Amino acid sequence: MPIAPNFTSILSKDWEINFKQCMPNEYLKYTDLCNILQLTAAEHSEIGGISFSDMQKFDQAWVLSRMRVEISELPKWKDIVTVKTWINTLENSRSVRALEMYVNGNKIVGSETFWAVFNTKTRRPEALALPYEHFNLYPENKATHKTFSKINLNNDTEIVFEKTVALSDLDIVNHVNNVKYLEWCLDFVNVELILNRKIESFEMNFLKELSLKDKVVIHENLTSDAMIFSITKEDKMCFALQLNLK
């Protein structure tokens, strides 16, 4: 797809929160928050000529490597949210994208995301084959108070679940969709922490892709101010999540 006539280097898009996206308390699910942010990023790449369809001509796709989300408030059912997104850095095979969510002009969510170009045949990273110089970059315009941090993984973990990857876990790139990892882990968080909106921020690190019928183990590690989950396959780390609580 060529660059759209309405392309701008900063995209602003409105979304209405529907009932399927909400928890029993009528607030947006954390997983659907991530979905909305990533759909906005996808739309920006679409109008900018570097979408999944454009990249598939070269057997390429964007894959999420890291994501940090800071939340001051969650939107509710029927809220109209505005998501703004722009690119901080883009070079060769890597890009950092910023996203912010607003309700009635008030910022409620900030997110920093790290993306890599991935060859869907070789399953390896490589330089972006499409031109991207028309995107203005905003390296100083940060959406979060803190940047990516190292998730402190150690051996003091408890196995909370074992599962086999199902077809419903996969996305168009034919691997486990990144939001699925978050969903799997949040199912083992105390319900009251979720419904009372006690998650202040969270960070995800995607290390190795998972495919259909892979057998994985979900681990949990609790600290005084955070909950850390990890997912392994054959004892190799595939994913890490840190939930920071209010």
Domain boundaries, the chain: 1-148, 149-246
* pLDDT at residue number 120: 95
Residue range 149-246 in CATH 2.40.50.100: no
3-class secondary-structure state, position 196 = coil
Note whether 1-148 and 149-246 share their fold.
Answer: yes
- Point out the residues of the chain with pLDDT beneath 50: none
* pLDDT at residue number 70: 98
**CATH class (in words) of the domain with range 1-148:** alpha beta
Residues 6+ positions from 234 with CB-CB distance below 8 Å: none
Residues 6+ positions from 129 with CB-CB distance below 8 Å: 55, 58, 60
Tokens of 35: 């979905």
Tokens of 131: 């031109």
* pLDDT at residue number 150: 86
Given a contact cutoff of 8 angstroms between Cβ atoms, the answer to whether 100 and 141 are in contact is no
* pLDDT at residue number 1: 65
